[in-house]
Amino acid sequence: MDELGCSNHDEEAWAAIITKVVKGEEDDETVWAFRFAIEQRVWRVVLAGQQNDPGSARVRSSFGHLFRDPHAAEDFIAEFTDQVDRSRRHGRFQEDSLRSLSRNAALSQIAAKSLIRKRAISSVRKFARGGITGLPDEAGGPVSYDASDHGGWGGQIPSPTGSSSAISDSGSELLRRLQDGEAILELSIKTERLASLEETAALQTWVLLNPKQSAYEPIRLMINEKVVGGIDALLEAHSVGREEITAALAACVSEIEAHPSMELKRLNGIDRRRARLEGRRLFDPLSAQAIRALLSLPSLNAGEKRNSKYRAGISGLFHQFDGLLRELDLRDEPTEDAS
Say yes or no to pLDDT of 144 above 80. no
Question: Sign (positive/negative) of CA torsion 81, 86, 92, 94?
Answer: positive
Confidence band, pLDDT 50/70/90 cuts, at residue 114: confident
Say yes or no to pLDDT of 255 above 70. yes
The whole-number pLDDT of residue 314 equals: 86
What does the alpha-carbon distance between residue 281 and residue 284 come to, in Å, rounded to a whole number? 6
Tens-place pLDDT, residues 125-138: 665 444 344 333 33
- Percentages of the chain per state (helix, strand, coil), in multiples of 5: 65, 5, 35
Helices 196-205, 264-283: inter-axial angle, 10-degree rounding: 100
What does the alpha-carbon distance between residue 141 and residue 131 come to, in Å, rounded to a whole number? 8
Confidence band, pLDDT 50/70/90 cuts, at residue 261: low
Say yes or no to pLDDT of 280 above 70. yes
Q: What percent of the chain has pLDDT over 70?
A: 79
Say yes or no to pLDDT of 17 above 50. yes
The whole-number pLDDT of residue 260 equals: 66
Which residue type does 132 have?
I
**Span of 4-18, 140-154, 275-289 with lowest mean pLDDT:** 140-154
Which residues are registered as beta bridge partners of 47?
59
Residue 8 CA: distances (Å) to CA of 5, 12, 13, 148, 225: 10, 6, 9, 41, 75
Query: pTM surpassing 0.75?
Result: no
Tens-place pLDDT, residues 203-237: 999 999 999 999 999 999 999 999 999 999 999 99
Say yes or no to pLDDT of 243 above 80. yes
The whole-number pLDDT of residue 178 equals: 84
Computed over every residue of the chain, the mean pLDDT equals: 80
Q: Are 226 and 295 in contact (CB under 8 A)?
A: yes
Of 117 and 201, which is predicted with more confidence?
201
What does the domain layout of the chain look like in residue ranges?
Answer: 8-156, 169-328
What average pLDDT score do residues 245-272 get? 80
Number of Cα atoms under 13 Å in the Cβ half of residue 300: 2
Name the DSSP letter for residue 158.
P
Say yes or no to pLDDT of 171 above 70. no
Q: Are 147 and 154 in contact (CB under 8 A)?
A: yes
Highest mean pLDDT, choosing among 131-140, 147-156, 188-197? 188-197
